[in-house]
């Protein structure tokens, strides 16, 4: 379950999907005092030059969080 926003009691529904492409996103690394991301990622483009199997899962490469 995800919060609809800072200080909100409303919960957002989440639907997990298995994407078969590699999206490139822009992310702001700002976090609040509780360690939560302050801004959502923004989609940039679909990477047709990269296969899904080439992308490490979050945390696997030692740099992702």
pLDDT at 61: 65
Please say whether the beta carbons of 53 and 47 come within 8 A: no
Per-residue model confidence as pLDDT tens digits over 5-57: 666 677 778 888 887 889 898 988 888 888 888 888 899 999 999 998 898 88
- What's the half-sphere exposure (Cβ side, CA atoms, 13 Å) at 52? 4
pLDDT at 44: 92
């Amino acid at each position: 379950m995800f919060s609809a926003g800072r200080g909100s009691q409303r919960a957002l529904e989440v639907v997990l999907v298995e994407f078969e492409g590699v999206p490139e996103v822009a992310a702001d690394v700002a976090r609040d005092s509780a360690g939560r991301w302050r801004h959502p990622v923004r989609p940039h483009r679909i990477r047709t030059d990269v296969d899904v199997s080439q992308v490490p899962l979050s945390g696997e490469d030692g740099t992702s969080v």
